[in-house]
Amino acid sequence: MSNDTVKIPQATAKRLPLYYRFLKNLHSSGKQRVSSAELSEAVKVDSATIRRDFSYFGALGKKGYGYNVNYLLSFFRKTLDQDELTNVALIGVGNLGTAFLNYNFLKNNNTKIAVAFDVAEDKVGTTIGDITVFHMDDMEKVIKEENITVAILTVPAQFAQSITDRLAKVDVKGILNFTPARLTVPPTTRVHHIDLAVELQSLVYFLKHYTVDEEEV
């Protein structure tokens, strides 16, 4: 995120890509304005939260008019640094990793998996969805050459920490951790942890114990 943009709460920041994707679709269908109720229905965030989120970056919707789609889009583009392409490395080309390589992230934003790494001899040297799989021995060299700042971890959990240490040493600033391992990183590195099993379990728990409108935002 660039330094000259407003500091917004982290919960709001996490919702920005969601808003951004929907607004881009609106924009390409030629829509000039959108109400918080329409947005709310589309992104499934309640409209009071949307109004609060948008107020942080000075987008005050007008009653009966809504929000200006162009204004919002240019704000999001700046805030999310979407004008700049972020090259991402994927580490661990197993089932999950392979699915990510085949998924075209560029469809929705300017984030692109540029390289992948693995240790398995049958994977190293292959190309999946246009992306070459390199050996882990070459990780530091390739990451520097390709100017990689973000990595996705889809390796077995027991290898996650040592790989993370290596990534931090070559200045990778963001790690999206899909392994169940809890990672220790230097203060300059940010980890977002996505544990699919835990998310699923938590969803089932919520379904059993709460009704949807009791849920906190």
Interacting residue with ligand ATP among 18, 43, 45, 96 (CB under 6 A): 96
Neighbours of 28 (CB within 10 A): 8
167 touches ligand ATP (CB under 6 A): no
Residue whose structure tokens are 């390409």: 28
Structure tokens at 13: 């920041």
Interacting residue with ligand ATP among 89, 91, 115, 143 (CB under 6 A): 91
Q: How far is the CB of 12 from ligand ATP (least distance, A)?
A: 31
Question: Which residue's CB is nearer to ligand ATP, number 74 or number 126?
Answer: 126
In angstroms, the CA 214 to CA 217 distance is 10
160 touches ligand ATP (CB under 6 A): no
- Of 88, 96, 87, 89, the closest CA to residue 155 belongs to 96
Helices (H), 93-189: 95-102, 139-145, 157-169
SS3 66: strand
Q: How far is the CB of 202 from ligand ATP (least distance, A)?
A: 20
155 touches ligand ATP (CB under 6 A): yes
Structure tokens at 11: 């919960």
Interacting residue with ligand ATP among 6, 11, 106, 120 (CB under 6 A): 120
- Element (H or E) spanning 34, and its range? strand 33-34
Question: Which residue's CB is nearer to ligand ATP, number 80 or number 131?
Answer: 131
In angstroms, the CA 178 to CA 175 distance is 9
Structure tokens at 4: 């000259």
# of chain residues touching ligand ATP (CB under 6 A): 18
Question: Which residue's CB is nearer to ligand ATP, number 16 or number 119?
Answer: 119
118 touches ligand ATP (CB under 6 A): yes
Question: Which residue's CB is nearer to ligand ATP, number 2 or number 126?
Answer: 126
Interface contacts to ligand ATP, rule CB under 6 A = 91-97, 117-120, 123, 136, 154-156, 159, 163
